Amino acid sequence: MAARSETHSASSSDGDDGGPGQSAGPGGPVDELLLAALLDGMDAALCAFDAEGVVTHWNREAERMLGWTQEEAVGRQGLAGWAVRAADAEEIEGQLLGAMRAPGRHVHEVALLTKDGGRVLVRIQSCGVTGADGRAKGVYCAFSEVHAQIDLERSIALSEALLEDAAWGVVLVDADLRPTVVNAHAARAFRVPARAAMLGRPLGELLDQGMEELEGALQHVLGEGAPPAPAEFWVTLRGPGKGESGGRRDGAERTEEAESARRRCWRSGFLRLSSPLAEEPVPLGVAWLFQDVTAHKEEERAAARLRFRDSRLHRAARAAAECADAMEAARLHLEFALAGFADHALLDLAADPGPEPAPTRDTSLDALPSRAVRLVRAAQTPAAERGRMPFIEPGTASGIPVAYPDGHPALQAYQRCTSVRASGGGTGTDAQDAQEWARARKWPQGTLHGLCTVLRCRGRSLGIVTFLRDAGRRPFDRADADHAEQVTAHVAAAVDLALALRGGAGQR
């Protein structure tokens, strides 16, 4: 719909011959058509007034919003009686036409009338138009419904808040999965010095473990849209490259490396971004929102692990109560303890645990372990080591001790009456070194972590229980030692009963 400006626009000034030679020049029909197309293609409603207040332009969006057609609007003197109430016309027209006398843009909120008698609250931005001689020629006004403008402002404010003050990390990635916008929370989570340090870099330069799974999720969102629920990813950050410091690393660098290697759980939500201006939905990238829930997930896992271990202890106690042989009950406790806890369990009893404590006096120091102790293998589970039977069958009848070297964790635990943990390295330890480490300690092949706990019952140290983990497991921690001591207390009671029954049978 062409803009009706032939009579009431600045181009129709006095002295314009309107000859054919001017059709392509300034103010000619070509310019008028171009201006009309531009105005009708705008998303905002627009009208314009000349210096006398006559409507000269009225685009399609203004027609859609108020119902007045271009033919009905262009040429009217002011807005009184048709676009605004007569009582408000003087004030509103004064505000709009006042823009010709004051430089800059002016914003007002006014109520306009629709053709069917309704009222619409709009926000008008007006600006004066001056000619080549500097004199005021008119004013143009762009307006939109207030609620639409408020929605736009809310969207902008939300975007700015997410990218500045949100408690979630926000990362916008493009179609190549490279970050383009990052908020401060995300930069802290990735441990980068500034947000700009993440922009344009592949995720593989920022993440070590979990990167492929995260990129797969981003690709899925680009192709299929946002998932219906958040997902949780376990990731580790890529630490500083090896050898960057050029020599020996100080404590701060080692701490930074350890912090980067720590596993983190990020609860993530994804949104596919599409251009609102394109006719067909064209994906611009993905908005990735995440929050670190590592502490919560670790607490959940610790609680689940504690429930499982308590259940195993309870089942072991009930099964051991049905055993006629006390040593069989001790072995049963070890077998129940292995599930989800260790790969091997060894029971070594002291060849000479010492006399039973006297019942008539203080016995707290009666049976301290001797410095030189001989530990005899009484039981091990599983009975076969990777399908091979042990070189010497477990049993205390022969009295042949295990050839533990000096300083062995089992000897240390026995002499200190406490738990001792030992580890041959991390998951990246060389297989040959790990095998030599286990062989030197007389432990099964493939062992990389050990936990030795002392058997204490009635004031005596009866022996040692050793729990072992292979290379695929993590080292024992303090919580594991607490659980091992609980298991060992049950085993110690069963062993003490077996020794008491054996001594009573010998006396008879």
Specify the amino acid at residue 251.
Answer: G
Q: Does the pLDDT at position 214 exceed 90?
A: yes
pLDDT of residue 497: 93
Per-residue model confidence (pLDDT) at position 31: 67
Q: Is pLDDT above 60 for 359?
A: no
Which residues 6+ apart lie within 8 Å of 423 measured at CB?
Answer: 448, 449, 450, 475, 476
d(CA 12, CA 26): 11
The CA distance from 321 to 302, in Å, is 29
How far CA 17 is from CA of 11, 13, 27, 51, 177, in Å, comes to: 11, 10, 11, 22, 60
**498: amino acid identity, one letter:** A
Q: How confident is the model at residue 11 (pLDDT cuts 50, 70, 90)?
A: very low
C-beta neighbour count of 499 within 10 angstroms: 20
Give pLDDT, residue 279. 63
C-alpha closest to that of 269 among 283, 286, 288 = 288
Name which residue leads in pLDDT, 8 or 264. 264
Between 304 and 5, the more confident residue is: 304
Backbone dihedral region for residue 475 (phi beyond 0: left; psi -120 to 50: alpha; all else: beta) = beta
Could you tell me which residue, 162 or 114, shows the higher pLDDT? 114
Strand residues in 96-236 grouped as ranges (E): 106-113, 119-130, 136-145, 169-173, 179-182, 231-235
- DSSP letter (8 states) at residue 225: -
Rounded to whole angstroms, the Cα distance separating 179 from 165 reads 19
Least reliable range by pLDDT among 67-71, 257-261, 345-349, 496-500 = 257-261
Cα–Cα distance for residue pair 66/45, rounded to 1 Å: 10
Task: Give per-residue pLDDT as tens, 21-37.
Answer: 334 445 556 666 776 67
3-class state of residue 71 by DSSP: helix
Confidence band of 456 (pLDDT split at 50, 70, 90): very high
**pLDDT > 60? residue 153:** yes
Q: Residue 246 has what pLDDT? A: 45
Q: What is the mean pLDDT of residues 222-234?
A: 91
Name the pLDDT band for 252 (thresholds 50, 70, 90). Answer: low
Residue 351 DSSP class: S
Is the pLDDT assigned to residue 360 strictly greater than 70? Answer: no
pLDDT > 70: what percent of the chain? 80
Percent of the chain with pLDDT over 90: 34
Q: Which residues pair with 235 in a beta bridge?
A: 264
| Preceding peptide of 382 cis, ω within 30° | yes
Sheet holding 283-292, edge to edge: 179-182, 169-173, 283-292, 264-274, 231-235
Using the structure block, give the residue that is written with the tokens 């738990």: 419
Q: Are 161 and 185 in contact (CB under 8 A)?
A: no
What mean pLDDT is predicted for residues 346-364? 68
Instruction: Please return the burial class of 150, using the count of CB atoms within 10 Å of its CB with bins 0-12, 13-18 and 19+.
Output: exposed
Give the model confidence (pLDDT) of 365-406 as tens digits. 444 555 578 899 999 898 766 555 566 667 766 778 888 998
What is the predicted pLDDT for the residue at 399? 76
- Is residue 245 over pLDDT 60? no
pLDDT, tens digit (0-9, with 9 covering 90-100), for 277-309: 666 667 789 999 999 999 999 999 999 999 999
Of 14-18, 41-45, 263-267, minimum mean pLDDT range? 14-18
The number of C-alpha atoms within 13 Å of 66 and in the hemisphere containing its C-beta is 26
Question: Which region among 22-36, 89-103, 130-144, 404-418 has the lowest average model confidence (pLDDT)?
Answer: 22-36
Tell me which range, 17-21, 29-33, 256-260, is most confidently predicted by mean pLDDT: 29-33
Residue 508 binned pLDDT confidence (cut-offs 50, 70, 90): very low
Is pLDDT above 90 for 38?
A: no
In angstroms, the CA 63 to CA 79 distance is 14
The per-residue pLDDT for 157 is 82
The secondary structure of residue 197, as a DSSP letter, is G
* Model confidence band, residue 52 (pLDDT cutoffs 50, 70, 90): confident
Q: Which amino acid is at 97?
A: L
Choose the weakest-confidence range: 12-21, 108-117, 317-326: 12-21
CA distance 328 to 323: 7
The SS3 call for residue 419 is: coil
List the structure tokens of 472.
């695929």
* Residue type at position 323: C
247 pLDDT tier (thresholds 50, 70, 90): very low
pLDDT for position 7? 34
Q: What is the per-residue pLDDT for 235?
A: 93
Lowest mean pLDDT among 25-39, 86-100, 487-501: 25-39
- Residue indicated by tokens 């129709």: 12
Asked if 207 and 236 count as a contact pair (C-beta separation under 8 A), the reply is yes
Residue 375 and residue 408: Cα distance in Å, rounded? Answer: 12
For 447-497, the DSSP string reads: EEEEEEEEEEETTEEEEEEEEEEETTSPPP-HHHHHHHHHHHHHHHHHHHH
Q: What is the pLDDT of residues 421-451, one digit of tens each?
A: 999 875 555 677 788 888 889 898 888 999 9
Residue 322: per-residue pLDDT? 92
276 token code pair: 């609102």
pLDDT at 4: 38
Length of the chain: 508
Residue 156: predicted pLDDT: 80
